[in-house]
Structure 1
Amino acid sequence: MVKKVLQTTLAFVGLVVGAGFASGQEVLQYFVSYGTAGLIGAGIAAILLGVAGAAILQLGSYYHAMEHTDVLDSITRPWIARAIDIFVSLVLFCLGFVMIAGAGSNLKQQFGAPVWVGAAIVSVLVIVTGMLDVNKVTTIIGAITPFIIIFTLGVSVYAFATASTPLSELDELARSVASPLPSWPLALINYVGLALILALSMALVMGGDQLNSRAAGLGGLIGGVTFGLMLVIAAGAIFVSVGRVKDSDMPMLAMVNEIHPVLGTAMAVVIFGMIFNTAIGMFYAFAKRAAGIRPNLYKPVLIGSTLVGFACSFLGFKALVGKLYPIIGWVGIVIIALLVIRWILDRPKISREIARRARVRDMVAKKLHRRRRFTRGDHQRLEAELAASNLPDHILHGETVEEVADELVKQGEPIDRGIVVQTRAEVEAVEQADDEDVDTSAPRSN
């Protein structure tokens, strides 16, 4: 379980550490601009991110989500779920063109290139990559995330070690930065909604990939708090350097350049990679969802939405973060609050299901192990537990058999492979029957 929790933690941090955080502009506006009070807000945000992370991933696991609508359809009315789905799709597009704007600002700040150059480069890359195997490309670029964490921690240590400006002066300088909201409590709440709504779809699916809801919840909790601590450290570092970076589009990049220009160039490349990774993820997902059941529309939608995004990017990265992000954040916090409230109300039910899946796992291990005796009574108890679960019998049984079989093999334990093969065949038969039922119930055209 420890390994799964760690994997989930790292994956969740990777989801929420986006290009906006890496640039430092989000942190500057949402926290540093309120002075020392904003730093307190960052600390409170860390706690809220942990609680919400636990709720999102555990709900995803409980409902075995294959996409975010699997959870939304289960906890809300259909029209609410549909409205949220539409909003999430719009967020994908909006964040896509904010990333294009960020690419322009990134290359302008580091290399002096016109804003349109960086924006055009990332737009072309998005269109070209969107026609290829996106998963492979984004997996490779996703490896950049650890470098952002290293750069953030490294530049923060340097900023704290070289800080010499009095606190009162820093507070005054920080408050001269334009703030997106009238007070720091509103800003921290809005930021939590913004950060989590961007990761919501993938986080629910990531939770759905785990049968162990306790491990999923712990991974979300630790991942949310870990990102929150990075937020606190980044906010503190930008705060003590605010006099030098407050007018920069990319505050973190400006801080790294102060250490050494070569490191600044490396940081610019890393941020550009994260911007591209985020942009392709946003436009790809938006085009897929907008095309819906007509896959032939995917390419025209991808090209068209990217070109529109390129045009919108000329509004400016800093301006877009300051004006667009708060709107996304407020709607986002409503959706996240809905999920957290439902998670709290369903805690008894989820706890019972966690215990039930653990018992199913123990009985399946006994059934598969050649040196253990699986009795008729064990079989009846397994059937009863499967029937009581919120998941379909064949899904819970089939995936548990696969997981337990893999673990026993890794441990060098003898297993009955015939049971594994038989279970796979039973699952395939049920799924095939379900597909045939859908086909026969679909209206036929004359």
Structure 2
Amino acid sequence: MNKQSIQIALAYMSVVIGGGFASGQEVLQFFTGYGLIGIVGTLVSGVLFAFLGMQIARMSSQMQANSHKEVLYRLFGSRIGLLVDVVLSFFLYGVGVVMLAGSGSIFTQEYNLPPLFGGVLMTVLVIATLCLNVKRIINLISAVMPFLLAMVLLITTYSIFSYNASVEALDAAARENNETVTGNWFVGALLYASFNIAVGFPMLAVIGGMTKQPRAAAVGGVLGGLGLGALILLLNIGLFANINQLQGIEMPALALSGRISPILSVVMSIALVCMIYSTAVGMFFAFSARFAKPDTRRFKLVSAATVCVGLVLSLGGFSKLVGTVYPLLGYVGFALILAIAFSWLRSRSAAKAQQAGLNAIS
């Protein structure tokens, strides 16, 4: 394991963590709402995160890809790849909008400020960051990850050991009082992994392409995927243990921190803003890069315009946007998963055929 592997793992996790489970609302709808069986769902998603992260990072490194479009074209061909790219870009923009809405919800729930305040603040931060060059953006996103991990681990660990109801009662409360994205926990787990892979794919492809060692890139993808799986599992258990006290709350993770300490709640709100910020930057970067080359004046103008439009769209509300955009993006992500799995099987078959040929010659 080297520095590049660790950087890839941290960047992979930081891009996904803001959109995937920082607020707790996502985990609530995809896992906790199914009750105890939702814990198994987190394990399914964790395995998929590791496998898919490894394949994307390695493929990008082998290609020395400059953008996710190159990887999409390799997976799907030029025509279908273009279609997938357009659809994916549209939904990634939707995730960026959700992040702006999430920022508004944080400042409303924690500080009783209008949602527009948090949205405008995040808009300014994202636009300012997108005016930096690509390497600085990646370094900035990677740098905030250790702080975010520490906060999530602290909150969830305390919550797991402070539950005050029987497991049976919590299971019943989770199933009866919470909306889920689909009627089946396994489909929910697949959707969760697929939409998060779609979210992390553009940035992971760019980072992998900047790495000249495919093996190091693959290790980074695996580490990031396993780290995400572990965090999702912990957060899901923490939410489940306190599900009877989290009804109707848009930011469950923030509510859990408030039960520990008012000061910790403030610190957690800052951490959540950082998580959402890291994902918002990744999403708007990927979308803007679809229309302009990064590090150019045109890119900065496109970024500013798209983020401002996103601010207006974010006024639709955080929970509603999560329940609408994420499942739809999950179905788009299924196409990515199938294409990556097919590419992996094809490469394994080619490697076996080559080895068999070498054995026959010798």
State how far apart, in whole Å, the 1-side matches of 2:294 and 2:127 are: 21
Change (3 A) 1:248 1:142: farther
Which residue does 1:121 correspond to in 2?
121
1:422-433 mapped onto 2 (5 Å cutoff): none
| Matched residue SS, 2:290 | helix
Task: Please tell me the residue identity of whatever aligns with 1:189.
Answer: L
1:115 Cα deviation after fit: 1.2
1:240-279 mapped onto 2 (5 Å cutoff): 240-279=241-280
1:378-393 mapped onto 2 (5 Å cutoff): none
State how far apart, in whole Å, the 1-side matches of 2:201 and 2:219 are: 17
Q: What do residues 379-424 of structure 1 show as CA deviations (whole Å, max 9, x unaligned)?
A: xxxxxxxxxxxxxxxxxxxxxxxxxxxxxxxxxxxxxxxxxxxxxx
Q: Please tell me whether the aligned partners of residues 95 and 283 of structure 2 are also in contact (alpha carbons under 8 angstroms).
A: yes
Change (3 A) 1:261 1:294: closer
Q: Please tell me whether the aligned partners of residues 163 and 241 of structure 2 are also in contact (alpha carbons under 8 angstroms).
A: yes
Highest RCO, 1 vs 2 (Cα 8 Å, sep ≥ 6): 2
Which residue does 2:44 correspond to in 1?
44
Which residue does 2:28 correspond to in 1?
28
Which residue does 1:99 correspond to in 2?
99
Per mean C-alpha deviation after superposition, the further-off stretch among 208-217 and 294-303 is: 294-303
Q: If you compute each CA radius of gyration, which structure gives the higher value, 1 or 2?
A: 1
State how far apart, in whole Å, the 2-side matches of 1:302 and 1:287 are: 5
Q: TM-score, normalised by structure 2?
A: 0.89
Which residue does 2:316 correspond to in 1?
315
Q: Please tell me whether the aligned partners of residues 56 and 340 of structure 1 are also in contact (alpha carbons under 8 angstroms).
A: no
| Matched residue SS, 2:178 | coil
State how far apart, in whole Å, the 2-side matches of 1:106 and 1:142 are: 22
Q: Please tell me whether the aligned partners of residues 92 and 286 of structure 1 are also in contact (alpha carbons under 8 angstroms).
A: yes
Moved over 4 A (4+): 1-7, 131-135, 292-297, 348-353
State how far apart, in whole Å, the 2-side matches of 1:26 and 1:54 are: 24
Which residue does 1:222 correspond to in 2?
223
| Matched residue SS, 1:22 | coil
Q: Please tell me whether the aligned partners of residues 197 and 336 of structure 1 are also in contact (alpha carbons under 8 angstroms).
A: no
Which residue does 2:187 correspond to in 1?
186
Q: What do residues 233-282 of structure 1 show as CA deviations (whole Å, max 9, x unaligned)?
A: 11001110111123211111111111101111011012112222322332
Which residue does 2:75 correspond to in 1?
75
Per mean C-alpha deviation after superposition, the further-off stretch among 18-27 and 122-131 is: 122-131
Per mean C-alpha deviation after superposition, the further-off stretch among 115-124 and 195-204 is: 115-124
Q: TM-score, normalised by structure 1?
A: 0.73
Change (3 A) 1:153 1:34: same
Change (3 A) 1:265 1:219: same
Which residue does 1:406 correspond to in 2?
none
1:306 Cα deviation after fit: 2.1
State how far apart, in whole Å, the 2-side matches of 1:19 and 1:76 are: 26
State how far apart, in whole Å, the 2-side matches of 1:209 and 1:185 are: 35
Which residue does 1:163 correspond to in 2?
163
| Matched residue SS, 1:18 | helix
Task: Please tell me the residue identity of whatever aligns with 2:248.
Answer: D
Q: Which runs of 5+ in 2 are unaligned?
A: 355-362
Q: What do residues 348-407 of structure 1 show as CA deviations (whole Å, max 9, x unaligned)?
A: 546899xxxxxxxxxxxxxxxxxxxxxxxxxxxxxxxxxxxxxxxxxxxxxxxxxxxxxx
1:153 Cα deviation after fit: 1.2
Change (3 A) 1:321 1:136: same
Q: Please tell me whether the aligned partners of residues 288 and 295 of structure 1 are also in contact (alpha carbons under 8 angstroms).
A: no
Task: Please tell me the residue identity of whatever aligns with 1:144.
Answer: V
Change (3 A) 1:67 1:237: same
- CA-atom RMSD, angstroms? 2.6
State how far apart, in whole Å, the 1-side matches of 2:59 and 2:335 are: 17
State how far apart, in whole Å, the 2-side matches of 1:314 and 1:157 are: 33
1:64 matched to 2:64? The reply is yes
Q: What do residues 186-244 of structure 1 show as CA deviations (whole Å, max 9, x unaligned)?
A: 11000011111111122123323334333332332232122111111110011101111
Change (3 A) 1:311 1:14: closer
Q: What do residues 315-355 of structure 1 show as CA deviations (whole Å, max 9, x unaligned)?
A: 110110011100001101211221122112112546899xx
Change (3 A) 1:350 1:27: farther
Task: Please tell me the residue identity of whatever aligns with 1:166.
Answer: S
Change (3 A) 1:180 1:308: same
1:172 Cα deviation after fit: 1.5
State how far apart, in whole Å, the 1-side matches of 2:296 and 2:136 are: 20
Change (3 A) 1:112 1:84: same
1:81 Cα deviation after fit: 1.1
Change (3 A) 1:294 1:52: closer
Q: Which runs of 5+ in 1 are unaligned?
A: 354-446
Per mean C-alpha deviation after superposition, the further-off stretch among 339-348 and 163-172 is: 339-348
1:128 Cα deviation after fit: 4.2
Which residue does 2:234 correspond to in 1?
233
| Matched residue SS, 1:182 | coil
State how far apart, in whole Å, the 1-side matches of 2:289 and 2:8 are: 26
Per mean C-alpha deviation after superposition, the further-off stretch among 119-128 and 101-110 is: 119-128
Q: What do residues 44-85 of structure 1 show as CA deviations (whole Å, max 9, x unaligned)?
A: 111122221222122222322222222222332211111122
State how far apart, in whole Å, the 1-side matches of 2:352 and 2:13 are: 25
State how far apart, in whole Å, the 1-side matches of 2:238 and 2:33 are: 13
1:113 Cα deviation after fit: 0.6
| Matched residue SS, 2:249 | coil
